[in-house]
Amino acid sequence: MGIQIYIKKEALERAGVQISYAEEEDNYPCRCGEVAIGYCNECESDGRNYTYKFAHVQGLEIIMYEFSDTVCHDANHWGTSRKPIIEFINKHKLKAGEDWCEA
């Protein structure tokens, strides 16, 4: 299971850290590949379009996801990224439980 780290956007802004955002769109067609978006009668599965919202946090060389009032990162999914995120958190004196958390 992964370790998700959530940092509140408000805490980053208070620490003077800039955040920029980007979106990436991916298309996942139905199982047989005939339908890009919508239901396919042939293979009886859906084709869907997903939009991922990324956050680029100044001073952190790891891509974060935007999630409500936080930016987050799945440390397990992205590899050994917990250590640099915790170093970033400590550098900016963010408080556990108030400014950031792990789940």
Q: What is the predicted pLDDT for the residue at 79?
A: 63
Q: What is the predicted pLDDT for the residue at 85?
A: 93
The percentage of residues in the chain with a pLDDT greater than 70, rounded to a whole number, is 95
In a 13 Å sphere around the CA of 64, the CA atoms on its Cβ side amount to: 28
pLDDT tens figures, 42-75: 999 999 998 889 999 999 999 899 999 999 998 7
Q: What is the predicted pLDDT for the residue at 77?
A: 62
